[in-house]
Amino acid sequence: MTTIADIIALKGQPAGISAWIMVDQDRINRFAEATGDFQFIHVNPTAAAATPFGGTVAHGMLTLSLLPAMIAALIPFPDGMKMAVNYGFNKVRFIAPVPSGSRVRGHFTLLDVSEVQPARWQQVVAVSVEIENHEKPALAAEWMTQYFL
């Protein structure tokens, strides 16, 4: 925890790089169960092997859903915060598929922190999710979170 002023001072600066997260077939299958998205490219290794991907790939939304785990240790919350909520995304682009068995990590930059109502602050963070040993990132996004003080 820190002050809003300390967080504002971080604007425009890289917030850091997360730890690696494994995206294995078990995680992909559990995500399919949770969302009802059983497209074969995610859950059928035999059929997916015949695609240009050469095997199963993570759902783009699975990769997106890993952002909270990635950012947790990188950007502090303000002192006195009652709660934080996802507010949405300005932009999300799924650039490259995440092959099953890959590791991913997030690169974060704090773009903005502003008071949108009394005691309600909005943070905008640029994020790029790197796939280990791949040239292209899995996704790029601008992610908004609101803090209630």
Q: Is the CB of residue 108 less than 8 Å from the CB of residue 100?
A: no
The CATH classification number of 4-22+58-148 equals: 3.10.129.10
Nearest CA to 75 out of 148, 132, 143, 134 is that of 143
Residue type, 10: L
Interior angle at CA 93, CA 88 and CA 98, nearest 5:
110
Give Cβ neighbours of residue 45 (< 8 Å, ≥ 6 apart): 25, 55, 56, 100
Reported residue count of the chain is 149
Which tens digit of pLDDT belongs to each residue from 4-14? 899 889 899 89
Which tokens go with 2? 């820190």
Q: How confident is the model at residue 30 (pLDDT cuts 50, 70, 90)?
A: very high
Q: What is the model's pLDDT at position 88?
A: 97
Say whether pLDDT at 1 is over 70: no
pTM above 0.85, yes or no: yes
- Residues 106 and 103: their CA atoms lie apart, in Å, by 11
Which tens digit of pLDDT belongs to each residue from 76-92? 888 899 999 999 999 99
Which tens digit of pLDDT belongs to each residue from 97-134? 999 999 999 999 999 999 999 999 999 999 999 999 99
Say whether pLDDT at 73 is over 90: no
| Boundaries of every domain in the chain | 4-22+58-148
Q: Is the CB of residue 71 less than 8 Å from the CB of residue 144?
A: no
